[in-house]
Every structure is written in C-alpha cells, then in structure tokens.
Amino acid sequence: MVRKPARLGVREVDLADWRWLLGTLRARFETGSFGAGAAFVAAVAQLAEAVGHHPDADVRAGHVRFVLRSRDVGGVAERDIRLAEQISALASDHGLVSRPEQAQVLELALDTPVSDTVRPFWAALLGGEAGSGLADPSGELPPLWFQTTDSVAPDRQRFHLDLTVPPEAADRRVAAAVAAGGRVVDDSNAPAFIVLADPDGNNACICTELGRD
C-alpha cells in the first residue's frame, strides 16, 4: 500500500525565498531578461524531472514566478519543501535575487444567500472545478469563492476582491490603498484580513495567513 504524503501546515514551513499563500508555496526571482529566466526555468525543469515533482512556472521579461503544491494532498507536502530548497539553491547558482514579499494571490468573492443555486452557473461559465469554491485547473483564472450573505438588497455589492499577500507586505499595501483615496472599513480581523473601500464604497480585502487558527 502506497502511503499518502502528509499535508503540512503553515507553521511547519520556514523558507527564506518562499511564502505560504492559500495552501501553496510561492516564490519570485528577478532575472533581468527573458533569456536568463528561460535558462533558469530550464535548469529547474531538469531538476523537477529528476525528482518527479513539478512546480508551476511563469516566465516574464524580468522575473520568474513559481508555485508549489501537491495536488494529491490538497496542499503543501514535504516534497514541496525539498523542491523549494533545491530551486532556491539553483537560483543562487544563477545569481538571481528573490523577492518573496512580492508574492500575492487574487481571489474573487461572490456574496450570495444560497451558493448552491449559483455555483453550477459559474462552474459552467468559467470552466472551473466546483467545490466549496471554483478553481481553474490551468491556474490562468483567479479562484472564485462564495460568501454567504443575508442581504437581498438589489444594490448590494455582490463581488469583492480578496488579495492574499505575505505578512510583511500587508501594512504597506493597506497604507498605499488608503493614500490612493481608500479607507479602512473593518480591521477587527487583522492580521487575517482587513476590509478596505475605494472612494465609491466598493470593498476589497487584504489578507494574510496570520491569525487564521
């Protein structure tokens, strides 16, 4: 019988170049050019093939982003930790600088009285995998989750954005939003999340992994 890997918790992970965001490990490395990024990803690909575990990679003109997650456990496992450490070592060999504070995950939240009535529509429209929320298997679209609300007012805000960032980036992001004309609506659940509003009253949340126990 094959033993299923154990899913780790956020407090069991301490990696300088990586941040735990919504059950994934995420890293960003500055490369300076697309060619340097492609060469780095090629080296990571060789490593991933050798160990039989693969990250998601996104190559841009000046940086590369990686996401690690073990789908069979629905989160982060020990194999992800090992591969993250090996990718960081490769990045050091390539002379790349990590920017873990720039990791972020955007989610869409839909307020609805009864999520079961609307979930099939959104699953069909977005082509996602339906669960408590909707996830795009390709990772190209942000996740959509359903927040139960008692309000049936026709002018209520039905959608809002949830942006999960590393803990060290949250205060700066909130301050920037306020300086840009926003306001803090509710910080009673900080550091787990802080509710903000734009000048028109549209809400969004800055979230972290802290305070979620």
pLDDT tens-place values along the chain, 213 residues long:
345 566 656 566 789 999 999 999 999 999 999 999 999 999 999 999 999 999 999 999 999 999 999 988 888 999 999 999 999 999 999 999 999 999 999 999 999 888 888 888 999 898 876 666 788 877 888 999 998 887 766 667 789 999 999 999 999 999 999 999 999 999 999 999 999 999 999 999 999 999 876
User: What residue ranges of the chain are covered by domains with CATH 3.10.180.10?
Assistant: 105-207
Joined together, the tokens standing for residue 35 give: 């060619």
CA-CA distance, 135 to 146, in Å (whole number)? Answer: 12
Task: Decide if domain 10-102 falls under CATH 2.30.30.230.
Answer: no
State in words which class domain 105-207 has: alpha beta
CA 49 to chain centre: 24
CA distances from 25 to 64, 70, 112, 123, 157 (A): 14, 10, 30, 26, 31
Give strand pairing partners of 111.
147
User: What residue ranges of the chain are covered by domains with CATH 3.30.1360.20?
Assistant: 10-102
Residues 196, 197, 201, CA angle at the centre, nearest 5°? 160
pTM, two decimals, is 0.87
From 67, 69, 62, 68, select the one nearest 96 (Cα to Cα).
62
